[in-house]
Amino acid sequence: MERLDKIVASMTGGSRKDARGMVLRGRVSVNGKVSGNIAQKVDPKTDDISVDGQSLTYKKYVYIMINKPKGILSASNDKSRETVVDLVKPDFPRDGLFPVGRLDKDTTGLLIITDDGDFGHKVISPKSLIEKEYLVTLDKPITAEDIKVLEAGVTLADGTVCRPAKVRQTEREKVVSMTITEGKYHEIKRMLGVVGIGVNELERIRIGSLCKDDKLDVGQYRELTEEDLSLVWK
């Protein structure tokens, strides 16, 4: 059971203040009866809650896949720069949205946005051992010896130890697939730096077994299904 104003805010994507106003102005009904009590306890799974006669569908959390563009911050908000949450707000105007992990400003590809803190923590925790796969465009070809070093795990100049990565040469000479289970600051760029290779482009294409939706153009997004979410853990 939850307070009516909290549930209305969640179901409409508005703020708690907006929800209180709706309730107090008699716009909200519970099981067909107008409620003017913002603190009324309701069960969103069984009670019929409507605003202006329109029944609402309750979602405790939302999960969104976005094909992140270059130049956009992986952050919830920023005073001067556009963020990934700004991109999805028109269709998901909920409080508390945040990106699950961070892609660098110039890194593109698969990013999940949600308001489920527990989910986000589990996905980015190194203990979960969830793979994140990237397509990496290099400034020069990689050698078999370079791959061997990266797949053994490397120690960065500052002493940071990085777990072994999976590295696979693609059909393009200067493009490799690189898979890691951590999310250290600039981890892939710094790991490649150990073997003297620079990164020109970086795109995340997979989290667990959830792959980037190729139907999403850069900057586009969609809500994840239950099946999508299950793939994150596989």
CATH topology match: 2-55 vs 131-207:
no
Q: Where are the domains of the chain?
A: 2-55, 63-126+212-232, 131-207
Multiple choice CATH, 2-55, 3.40.50.2300, 3.40.50.300, 3.10.290.10, 1.10.10.10: 3.10.290.10
8 A C-beta contact, residue 146 and residue 197: yes
The pTM (predicted TM-score) of the whole model is 0.83
- CATH number attached to the domain at 63-126+212-232: 3.30.70.580
Task: Categorize the per-residue pLDDT at 25 as very low, low, confident or very high, splitting at 50, 70 and 90.
Answer: very high
Task: Calculate mean pLDDT across residues 1-26.
Answer: 89
State whether CATH 3.30.70.1560 applies to domain 131-207.
Answer: yes
For 151-176, the pLDDT digits (tens) are 999 999 999 999 999 999 999 999 99
Residue 227 in this model has a pLDDT that exceeds 90: yes
The residue annotated as part of the active site, out of 18, 47, 86, 104, is 104
What are the strands, taking DSSP E only, across 16-130? Answer: 28-30, 33-34, 41-42, 49-51, 54-55, 63-68, 98-99, 108-114
**Catalytic: 146?**
no
Which residue type is seen at 213?
D
What is the reported pLDDT for 106? 94
Residue 13 in this model has a pLDDT that exceeds 80: no
Structure tokens at 159: 């002493």
For 92-105, the pLDDT digits (tens) are 878 789 999 989 99
> Most distant CA pair in the chain: distance in Å?
72
